[in-house]
Amino acid sequence: MGSRSKSNIFSILKKRDVKRFSIFISIAFIFLIISKLSNDYKQLIKLKVNLTDTEEEVILQQDSSNVIDVLVEAKGFALVPYIFNKYKTIVLSSKTDMVTKPSHYLFDVQKNRFLIEGQLGSSYNVLSISPDTLILPYSKRASKYIPVDLDANIEYATGFDIKGGFTFSVDSVKIVGAQDKIENVNTISTKELKLSKVNSFIDEDIEIEAIDDIDVFPKVVNVKADVKRFTEGTIEVPVTITGKPNNITINYFPKTVTISYYVDLDSYSSISTNDFEVECNFNQIDEDQTFFLPKITKSPNFIKRVNIKQKRVDFIKL
């Protein structure tokens, strides 16, 4: 019975010794790793260039030519990210950092060493950089500017309408693609702008419709329009006869016609007879014709749905 107790106690102590030993080994390993990572090492890092500020027409050739090899010295901690991946991306501007040539960009690596060191960070001591000059080949697609057509499906609230017209944030968009693809494209439409019961100012961002194999810049435009409460008005306007030979005398009736129009309330009180002109052209009648078809030749550009209630003006030759 005594020997069994001693054996159990020995087993327990043995297990405790194994755990203590494992903990000691783990701690020692951690200190070893920390010690190793605290040392300085040399490492070759490949920098992939991400070029910004290029024109929309430019297509960069993505190959090994846009890589800069940098030999650095740094603490092991700083080099841990490059154990499994030796590549790092740096951002350069085509406008400020590059020299633009007709078919390629030039980057003076040695002259702009400070840019590379700045993006690597202070943890890395740059020992050498190659090549001396980086050449980034590119090709250019054709481009041109075209106007935008708004695809509008707008239902206004009762008594409301748009005053003036729609305005875009840009007067045209650039399309980019192969010459034979863009040469016959002279306008481009937005996606449908669908609104209902509109009674206030319109301010919407709307996407441009996509065209196969053609890029559009920008892809989204802002559309604005002033929406006002409208009312109908009428006004009497004198009729003017034009084109009548001097040797012909006529009498016509009526001498004035009634014009109806649709206008926003803010402008209603400012409308006057002088804002309109109605003409009957003697040169546009047939030989035996005894009436004119009156036409409105002048009206304010902010009114809508202008109509003459009298569709004809009769006359007789004296």
How is the beta sheet containing 291-292 ordered, strand by strand? 250-253, 313-317, 291-292
Closest by CA to 276, choosing from 288, 292, 294, 250, is 294
Q: What is the pLDDT of residue 28?
A: 53
Q: What are the φ and ψ backbone dihedral angles of 271, each rounded to 5 degrees?
A: -70, 135
Tell me the CATH architecture of domain 40-140: Beta Complex (2.170)
- What is the distance between the alpha carbons of residues 232 and 191, in angstroms, rounded to a whole number? 32
Domain 142-229 CATH class label: mainly beta
Domain boundaries, the chain: 40-140, 142-229, 231-317
Q: What is the pLDDT of residue 293?
A: 94
Give yes or no for a contact between 261 and 271, defined as CB atoms under 8 angstroms apart.
yes
Q: What is the pLDDT of residue 75?
A: 80
What the block records as the tokens of 214 is 């053609």
- Which amino acid is located at 120 in the chain? L
- What is the distance between the alpha carbons of residues 128 and 24, in angstroms, rounded to a whole number? 42
Q: What is the pLDDT of residue 265?
A: 94
Q: What is the pLDDT of residue 13?
A: 46
State how far the alpha carbon of 309 is from the alpha carbons of 112, 274, 313, in Å.
Answer: 77, 18, 11
Q: What is the pLDDT of residue 306?
A: 94
pLDDT in tens, the chain (318 residues): 445 554 554 455 455 555 555 665 556 555 555 555 456 778 888 888 889 999 889 888 776 678 889 898 888 777 777 777 778 888 999 999 999 998 889 999 999 999 988 988 888 888 999 999 998 988 889 999 999 999 999 999 999 999 988 999 998 999 999 898 899 999 999 999 999 999 999 999 999 999 998 999 999 999 999 999 999 999 999 999 999 998 889 999 999 999 999 999 999 999 999 999 999 999 999 888 999 999 999 999 889 899 999 999 999 987
Give yes or no for a contact between 32 and 10, defined as CB atoms under 8 angstroms apart.
no
Q: What is the pLDDT of residue 19?
A: 59
Closest by CA to 298, choosing from 244, 227, 229, 240, is 240
Q: What is the pLDDT of residue 31?
A: 52
The domain defined by 231-317 folds into RNA Polymerase Alpha Subunit; Chain A, domain 2 (2.170.120)
Q: What is the pLDDT of residue 148?
A: 95
Q: What is the pLDDT of residue 18?
A: 53
